[in-house]
Amino acid sequence: MEKVFIYDTTLRDGSQAEGVNFSLEDKLRIIQKLDEFGIDYIECGWPGANPKDTVLFERLKKHKPSHARVVAFGSTRRPGKKVEEDPQVENLIRSGAKTITIFGKSWDFHVEHALNTTLEENLAMVYETVAFLKRHAEEVVFDAEHFFDGYKANPDYAIEVLRSALQGGADWVVLCDTNGGCLPHQVYEITKKVKEVFPEANIGIHAHNDSDTGVANSLMAVLAGARQVHGTINGIGERTGNANLCSIIPNLQLKMGFRAVREESLRKLMELSHFISEISNMPLPKNMPFVGESAFAHKAGVHASAVMKHASTYEHIDPSLIGNRRKITVSDLSGKSNILYKLREMGLQVDERSPEIVKLVEKIKELEKEGYHFEAAEASFELLCKRHFGLVKDYFNLDAYRVLIAKRSTDNLPVSEATVRLYVEDVKQHTAALGNGPVSALDRALRKALEEFYPNLKNVQLIDYKVRIVNESEGTKAKVRVLIESTDGERKWGTVGVSENIIEASWIALTDSLIYKLHKDQEEGII
C-alpha cells in the first residue's frame, strides 16, 4: 500500500474556529493523542505569534512525540526585508521544530493588492525564505496560499511560485484552496497539471470546506498525485472549517488502497474524534460520517432486519474498523463488541457470552442517556468497567459534604468553603477548607482528609475543568456534564460527572480522579 502522509493542523487552523480556545495543557494532551494515533505531522502553532505557542514549543523540546513530526508554522519574509533580519522567521528557527511550514502568496491578485508588492519580489520572498530555513531545519513545507484561485487567474505565475519554493529546497509544496471555493473536478485537474510540470516533486493538498467539498477535494488531489493531506480532526476551523481528517483517513485506507495510519490506530478513530470534541467544547453532530453516534444507526424495520442478516446491505464499511458500532434500537446487544474491545485494552479477559457483559452494556447505555460521555474521560470509563467486575477497592466512603458560598458587601469576590465528612479504613475524617471556588474548596477539603492515609495524592493536580449543558431545553433544570483533567506529573487522565446539580457533577468527577490515581498506583504496587 502506498503511503499518504497525514498532516494535522487542529492546533492552528482548528483553533481559529469560532468558540475554540485551547489551553496550553489542552494542546499538550491533544499532541499526545494525535501522536499515539499515528498522525505523521502535527502543526503545533506559530511560534512568537502569541505567548502560549512560544511556551508550547519550549515544552516540546523536552517532551517530543514518539512518531509524529512537530511542525512550526509561519510565513515568508516580509517584502523589502532581508530574510535573516525578519523576527518571525527567526522565531521559526528558535522553535526547535525539525519541520517548518511557511505559507506564501501564489495568486497574483493577492501579491499586488494584499502584500502590495511586485510579482518578482514575491518570488524572491518564497525562494529566499525556503532556502534560509532549509539551512536550519530538516524539512521545509511550502503552503502555496490561494493556489487554485491563483492558478485559475494566472496559471503561469502560480507555477512559478511553486518553482521558486522547489528551487529553494522545499521538501513539499502544498496546494491550498484557502477560500474553499473549488470543486473536486477542478482540484483534480489542476493538481494533475502541477504533477505533470513537477513529476519529481512531493505534492500536498490543504482544503477548506466552504463549498462543503473539503474531503472530496482532498481525495481527488490524492488521485491526481498528492501524497500529503492537510486537515483537522472533526473538520473544525475558521469559517466553515477545514477538510475533515476523520473522513479522509478511512476513505484513503479502506476504500482507496492507500496507507494513512496503522490498522490498529484506525480502530481508535471514533475515540480520537470524540476526544477532540470534548477538549474543544465543540459538540459532535450525531450524523457526522464515520464517527458520529448515528453514523451506523438503524431503526426497527426493513433496514434493521436486513442489516442483521447482512451488514453490507445498509452499511458501507464495518463500523468496528474505525471504532464505531452499529446501533439498532430494538437490540439490547448493541455495543457489546465495542465494550469487549475496551475491556481487553484494560487487560480484562471476559467471556463474551457472560451475562455480566450484557449488564455492563446496559449500564453504559443508561449512563449515556443521562448525559455521560466517556471519550475524553477515559479514567471514569475504566473505573466504571472495573467496578462492575468488583475490581476497584473502596478507598473511602462519603458520609456528607457541604459547600458554602458567601459574599459580603465589602468583599471583591465570593468566599467558598467546603466541609467533608468521610470514612477511611473505618476512621472518620472531618475536614474543611477554603478555595477560590466551590470545586477548589471541595478538592482541598477532600485531599486534606485523604492525604494522611494516601500521601501519593499530594502529587495530583487538577489542571482543567469544563462544564457543558446536556439538555439545553430544560433551562435551569438542565443537567450539566463536568469534565475534569488531572495529572500526577507523569500521566494525565480525564474524569466526568453528570447531575442536575453542578456541585454534585463536580464531586463525581473529582472523586473519580483521586480514586483513579489510587487504583493505578495500587496496580503498580506503589501503595
**419-442: pLDDT as tens digits:** 999 999 889 999 999 998 999 999
**Same domain assignment for residues 183 and 204:** yes
pLDDT at 329: 43
Structural domain that includes position 228: 2-280
- What one-character DSSP code corresponds to residue 242? B
Say yes or no: 482 and 523 in one domain: yes
The answer to whether residue 286 sits within a structural domain is no
The CATH number of whichever domain residue 417 belongs to comes to 3.30.160
Question: Of 104, 175, 93, 173, whose CA–CA distance to 138 is shortest?
Answer: 93
Evaluate whether residue 290 is within a structural domain: no
Confidence at residue 475, expressed as pLDDT on a 0 to 100 scale: 62
CA 222/CA 203 separation, integer angstroms: 9
- Kindly state whether residues 346 and 327 are assigned to the same domain: no
Assigned domain for 138 exists: yes
Given pLDDT bands bounded at 50, 70 and 90, which one contains residue 300? Answer: very low
Write out the three cell numbers for 314. Answer: 445498509
- 375 and 505 in a single domain? The answer is yes
Domain end marker among 433, 453, 473 = 453
User: Is 463 found in the same domain as 449?
Assistant: no
CATH number at residue 300: 4.10.430.20
pLDDT at residue number 330: 32
Per-residue pLDDT tens over the stretch 5-51 = 999 999 999 999 998 999 999 999 999 999 999 999 999 999 988 88
What pLDDT, on the 0 to 100 scale, is given for residue 334? 43
Is residue 384 domain-shared with residue 406, that is, in the same domain? no
Rounded CA-CA distance 230/99 in Å is 15
Pair 80, 175 in one domain: yes
Average pLDDT over residues 363-369: 86
Identify whether 336 is part of a domain.
no
Structural domains of the chain, count: 4
Q: Are residues 321 and 354 in the same domain?
A: no
Q: Grade residue 371 by pLDDT with cuts at 50, 70 and 90.
A: confident
pTM, 2 dp: 0.70
Residue 291 in any domain: the answer is: no
**Domain-located, residue 420:** yes
363 in the same domain as 411: no
Give the model's pLDDT for residue 472. 64
Q: Is 507 within the bounds of a domain?
A: yes
Question: What's the CA gap between 206 and 106, in Å, rounded?
Answer: 14
The reply to whether 440 and 470 lie within a common domain is no
Q: Is the pLDDT of residue 171 over 90?
A: yes
Within 235-393, strands assigned E span 258-259, 297-298, 327-328
**Residue 288 belongs to some domain of the structure:** no
Same domain, yes or no, for 467 and 516?
A: yes
243 and 391 both lie in a single domain: no
| pLDDT, tens only, 470-492 | 876 666 567 999 999 999 988 88
Q: What's the one-letter identity of residue 504?
A: E
Min mean pLDDT across 144-148, 324-328, 438-442 is at: 324-328
Range scoring the smallest mean pLDDT among 191-195, 246-250, 334-338, 388-392: 334-338
**How far are the Cα atoms of 100, 130, 157, 390, 408 from residue 150, in angstroms, in the given order?**
23, 20, 8, 64, 63
Own/partner pairs for 293-297, CB < 8 Å, 24+ apart?
A: 293/327, 294/327, 295/319, 295/324, 296/324, 296/325, 296/326, 296/327, 297/326, 297/327, 297/328, 297/329
